[in-house]
Amino acid sequence: MPTRILVDTNFLLIPVRFKVDIFTVSADAVNDLTEFYVSSRVLDEIQSLKEKAKPSFVKELRLAEAFAGMCTLIVDPSDDEVDDSLVRLALQENMVLGTTDSELRRKARATGVKVIYLRQKSYLILDG
């Protein structure tokens, strides 16, 4: 069974900002086939950020949305903070959480969720 990776907004920005193919490199990091998932809360967060962002960041967010389109959507009706929602979903569904947010990484690891993140701006590493 492939490793299931739940991605956050920052993880979707990795290909845009660092030219790292998250879909290929993640499989190498986990030594397994991968399936990617995105929460509806992450898509809402991207929309919200686009409304307030400078034009250059809006372009990055549009590309992140395109990458999100390559992931399977998980509808999350909760009112939790986005980060709390991601940790809860990853824990419930036994998924690896893909993020570059150090605070979110700490929260996830504290609850026993494995995390995949960008290291040295060039490769992904699995923690946990």
d(CA 20, CA 38): 18
Residue 1's pLDDT band (cuts 50, 70, 90): confident
Amino acid (one-letter) located at 104: L
> What is residue 108's predicted lDDT score, i.e. its pLDDT?
97
Question: 3-127, which class in CATH?
Answer: alpha beta
Q: 118 — alpha (psi -120 to 50), left (phi > 0) or beta?
A: beta
Q: What is the pTM of this model?
A: 0.94
d(CA 20, CA 44): 24
The pLDDT tens digits for 84-126 are 999 999 999 999 999 999 999 999 999 999 999 999 999 999 9
